[in-house]
Amino acid sequence: MAVEHNTREIEEGVVTDLRERMSYGSYLGLDTLLASQHPVSDPEHHDELLFIIQHQTTELWLKLVIHELDDARTLLAADDLGAALKRIARVKHIQEVLTQQWSVLATLTPTEYAQFRGSLASASGFQSAQYRQVEFALGNKHEQMLKVFEASPAEHAALEAELHRPSLYDEFLRHLARAGHAVPTEILERDVTKAHVYNEALVPVLQAIYESAGEQTDAVHWRAYEACEELVDLEDNFQFWRFRHLRTVTRTIGMKRGTGGSSGVGFLQRALELTFFPELYAVRTRIGA
């Protein structure tokens, strides 16, 4: 049967006069958002728009990750574990999107990127203040990183505030202590401006949570166990993102130095050795041993 037309009529009642109403575009600020891509290559290279949008969308997702981690920590401090885990679950989904995004940038070949890479000058993802905020929020504190943002007072202030705030792991362990778990005092009173480092004394505490939860008869241990696994998911996802970043950079620029002055691939490789929640991995060696 032949189709006489291939259009969909606008339903009666659909708002079409938006001159004095909020519209989709005005609500989302699309005039500003879609006018924020400014290629600097001359003549403008076709693929530079891809490069810009890839990194801009990453920054938008990082903004949401920061928003969720902020609230997750507030909820943990109030011992509202269920709501905190909801926030963490959302972050995990965002991480999956961020990791998949690398496949789009990976369509940029070495030859194509080389044609406009020089136009970036010293601009580099290393200088992403929001990425550093996420790392700080998860516990990878590094005070010297603040130097990178001295030229931007607002970014510097946000990162400095994050430096002095307990990380997600700090708040989780404090929550465990209030719930009756024997978290070592030195962890609860540690200097939160420093990166968390492995503490052997915490492993038996986590082991007790895992082994009691395995019986599925202790609701307190089961909730703590569930939270531990959510944090492991969070770190695994972060490592997947780091690894995908590393592989995308490797296939695009090889062993060249980064535009921001880093060693490039070698610098990213060393990041894979960093961990946020070391005891949550160490406990796996103990369970059932």
Task: Choose among 213, 264, 8, 252: nearest CA to 106.
Answer: 252
Is 257 annotated to bind a ligand? Reply is no
Q: What is the DSSP string of 93-129?
A: HHHHHHHHHHHHHTTS-HHHHHTTGGGGTT--GGG-H
Is 58 annotated to bind a ligand? Reply is no
Q: At what angle do helices 219-253 and 168-178 cross, to 10 degrees?
A: 170
Residues in the chain: 289
C-beta separation of 126 from 148 below 8 A: yes
Buried b (16+ CB within 10 A) or exposed e, 195-219: bbeebeebbebbbbbbebbeeeeee
Alpha-carbon torsion angle 203, 206, 210, 216, nearest 10: 150
User: Residue for token digits 């007790």?
Assistant: 208
User: Residue for token digits 């998911």?
Assistant: 233
Buried b (16+ CB within 10 A) or exposed e, 28-52: eeeeeeeeeeebebeeebebbebbe
Is 142 annotated to bind a ligand? Reply is no
Q: How far is CA 44 from the centre of its chain?
A: 31
C-beta separation of 269 from 126 below 8 A: no
Q: What is the DSSP letter of 22?
A: -
Alpha-carbon torsion angle 240, 146, 56, 85, nearest 10: 50
Is 113 annotated to bind a ligand? Reply is yes
Is 245 annotated to bind a ligand? Reply is yes
Is 198 annotated to bind a ligand? Reply is no
- Residues at the annotated binding site for substrate? 51-55, 113, 117, 259
Question: Which residues are annotated as part of the binding site?
Answer: 51-55, 113, 117, 245, 259
As annotated, the binding site for heme includes 245
